[in-house]
Amino acid sequence: MARWREAKAVTQQIQFVLGGARSGKSAHAEALAHAHARKDDDDRHRLVYIATAEIFDAEMESRVDLHRQRRGPEWQLVEAPLDLPQAIRDNYDDKTAILVDCLSVWTTNLLIHERDIEQARQTLLDTLREFRGKIVLVASETGLGIVPDNALSRRFRDANGLLNQAVAAAADEVFFIMAGIALRTKPPQ
């Protein structure tokens, strides 16, 4: 915990990448994290990939394998399906670029495991406010479709939308990915 608090002098950069399924959001987020890691040629940063997915079926396993193959061996994998804020704190240092993929899957996990969504969102936001370093967060934009026909899906859509709004407000830079094209919707200040 001391390492977390002592690192306040490090420049914070929070980047948030949103998009639909198979839009290219994860690949764009990986490129952003790699750019952080390469900024100092003499002093390479560690790459940490915090995965929120839980594998429940063969289709999800196939998606996770695709991400693993694309990332390569230089990434350190941390699995955090439920306690994402703690995983961020545990893996933080000023020589690390962290990628979180994906906040929407994390929201799903919280709902499935009947966790307090509002409290989890607040804890994540508090963690991001204290964070000093480089972090890229990925989420699905789920509010562009029709109103879901069941209560659980509506609850997910609402929780995901509220989290996306809050993270976008906290982020220094926000990208919306569409058909593999990144649109910067919030430029750095």
List the catalytic residues. Answer: 67
Tokens of 97: 């670029």
No. of helices (H) and no. of strands (E), the chain: 7, 7
Residue 79: C-alpha distances to residues 12, 53, 57, 100 (Å): 23, 8, 17, 10
Contact criterion met (CB below 8 Å) for 162 and 4: no
Nearest to 105 by CA among 134, 80, 75: 80
Contact criterion met (CB below 8 Å) for 105 and 79: no
Q: How, if at all, do strands 181-186 and 173-178 pair? A: antiparallel
Phi, psi angles (nearest 5°) of residue 80: -145, 75
